[in-house]
Amino acid sequence: MISWLYMEHRTRMEREGHTFKTYVIQWFEVLDGLLGKKWKHVGLAFNCAYLLFTAITQLIACGSNIYLVNDDLSKREWTYIFGACCLVTIWIPSFRNYRLWSVFGVITITYTSWYTTVSALVYGQAPGATHDGPNSLVLYFTGATNILYSFGSHAATVEIVHAMYRPVKFKYVYLFATLYIFTLTIPSSMAIYWSSGDALLENSNALSLLPKSPARDVAVLLMIIHQFITVGFAVTPMYFVWEKILGVHQENNMLLRASCRLPIILLIWFLAIAFPFFGSINSVVGCMLVTFTVYIIPCLAHMVYFRNSSMRAPSVEKPPFFLPSWTAVYMVNIFVILWMVAVGIGFGGWASIITFIKQIWDFGVFTACYQCPQTS
């Protein structure tokens, strides 16, 4: 739905004589161009909040993972260091500069996922491992919202589409990418749960449950690189928004643009240190932001924009072969919206907020070492 609406907006703008050599189209501008200012403000609010917390969780994860390799420093101290490293993202102009990094990110996550799968099977079940699953509705729906977050992309869809030389092909690329991700997430999740069991309910980092070894250290380091790249993916659209607010988005002076971007990454750095609750933040983001940004708003916007036959007839995109009519497309959109409202926002929101508040009570803000062993 997002790429469909993007192509509709871009085609219209190009027919009016606009060019995009130095300008990056973003999701809120697609909503503005097709549906008006109110949609723009709603899309902008949810998208920026989603990107903000995605960057925060990935920065937290960097500190959490490197602690498995070297625990001489606390997770908070490692987050200080990685936050400083993430300052380099202010110098990366656009998503086209991430092409090589994207490929490397796929390689890193592939190794880490298959290491997790193989090592869990090789080491076998931990002594006393149980497999009762979530024993309360809070844990069940917290997990459900984590799944929503995992498969909800990173709210940078339009910026990635815009970076492609043939944006119309994005939907195929995204489909195959998602299928590939299934080959990484499903085997590793099943294997590590078989191996560690319900210990995963109280531990946000599955790698910490595997025995320390050189192969695990490599997996951890590669995962950190992947998360560092993901921080860049999340903050770059926020940089674009901030540049447009300040009126410097199309400036050639990269020093000026980098200086303007600095407050964004400093805010993310501060919040990552203050609230290092990786799993529970994922849950809150999944139920309150992913549901709207990735599912509800795109589906609803698509239905509203194409509600009249006069708009459907000249549509740049057409219903796919597996949904051969507009009625079928509408039915799928309605199902997605209702499902997200009930499961994601309703039950998921209730569970994730309870979990997040409990984490604050248990660990406090600015905790030095979230979910560290008691002996450390």
Q: What is the dihedral of CA 32, 37, 40, 41, to 10 degrees?
A: 170
CB 138 within 8 A of CB 263: no
Regions of the chain short of the pLDDT cut 70? 152-155, 204, 277-280, 282, 359, 362-376
pLDDT digits (tens, 9 = 90+) for 209-232: 888 899 999 999 999 999 888 888
> Nearest Cα to 270, choosing from 365, 354, 359, 355?
365
In terms of Cα–Cα distance, which of 168, 23, 35 is closest to 93? 23
User: What's the pLDDT score for residue 65?
Assistant: 86
pLDDT in the model for residue 375: 46
SS (H, E, C) the chain: CHHHHHHHHHHHHHHCCCCCCCCCCCHHHHHHHHHCHHHHHHHHHHHHHHHHHHHHHHHHHHHHHHHHHCCCCCHHHHHHHHHHHHHHHHHCCCHHHHHHHHHHHHHHHHHHHHHHHHHHHHHCCCCCCCCCCCCCHHHHHHHHHHHHHHCCCCCCHHHHHHHCCCHHHHHHHHHHHHHHHHHHHHHHHHHHHHHHHHHHHHCCCHHHHCCCCHHHHHHHHHHHHHHHHHHHHHHHHHHHHHHHHHCCCCCCCHHHHHHHHHHHHHHHHHHHHHCCCHHHHHHHHHHHHHHHHHHHHHHHHHHHHCCCHHHHCCCCCCCCCCCCCHHHHHHHHHHHHHHHHHHHHHHHHHHHHHHHHHHHHHHCCCCCCCCCCCCC
Please report the pLDDT score of residue 356 as a whole number: 74
Q: What is the pLDDT of residue 282?
A: 67
Nearest CA to 264 among 229, 295, 231?
A: 231
User: What is the distance in angstroms between the CA of the first residue and the CA of the last residue of the chain?
Assistant: 48
For residue 367, CA distances in Å to 96, 108, 201, 203, 274 come to: 37, 29, 20, 16, 7
pLDDT reported for residue 376: 40
**Other CB atoms closer than 10 Å to residue 203's CB: what's the count?**
13
pLDDT score at 265: 94
- pLDDT digit string (tens) for 17-51? 887 777 888 999 999 999 999 999 999 999 888 88
pLDDT at 154: 61
> Among residues 45, 338, 289, which one has the least CA distance to residue 152?
289
Burial of 219 (0-12, 13-18, 19+ CB in 10 A): buried
What is the rounded CA–CA span in Å between residue 207 and residue 223? 10
Distance separating alpha carbons of residues 31 and 267, to the nearest angstrom: 27
Q: For residue 93, what pLDDT is reported?
A: 87
pLDDT of residue 121: 94
